[in-house]
Amino acid sequence: MLMDKKTMGTAEVIGGMGLLLLGHKLKGLGMFAHGFTALEELYREAHPELKPGLQARWEKATEFYEANHQNETNRTLHRLGIPFIVGGALGLLVSKPHRLPWMVSAAAFAGGWASNIIGHSVYEKNAPAFTEDPLSFIAGPVWDIQQMMALSNAQQKGRIEERVTVEVENA
């Protein structure tokens, strides 16, 4: 059975992550990059209206990512899972395979992905964004950091307003 280019690209991205989890760093990165490139080519073919340049591409990626992450539980699972994925991936790349730091990184990476997959399959009811837009691998962590910063700023603002209200009432 022959796979279409999207299915093959997605399989290569996932396979690359699997190879990384098995300790095959270069093979894993190569397979991931090949799948990512195929998915990006398909994305650009499907979006001929896309203006040239990184800014236009980035805007499309972040808009798409946000549109595919509307469920609050899924967003929470991503805010928890993505740091584990990023940290785990870095640990897998820099640690010697099958040693304690590598195993901790592998557990973090797998746990982060499990969190995201549960978020999409149970709560959001859609596929992870990277299957449609490979730039989501970068847009996702950036978007999540922005969401966490906005939440932190809102909480900080709420605390300041609460203090001001209490001080005015006590004056």
pLDDT at 46: 95
Q: Residue 32 in contact with residue 13, Cβ under 8 Å?
A: yes
Distance, CA of 70 to CA of 41 (rounded, Å) = 26
Long-range pairs for 45-52: beta carbons < 8 A, 24 or more residues apart: none
Which pLDDT tens digits describe the chain residue by residue (171 residues)? 678 999 999 999 999 999 999 999 999 999 999 999 999 999 999 999 998 889 999 999 999 999 999 999 999 999 999 999 999 999 999 999 999 999 999 999 999 999 999 999 999 999 999 999 999 999 999 988 888 888 888 888 777 666 656 565 666
pTM: 0.85
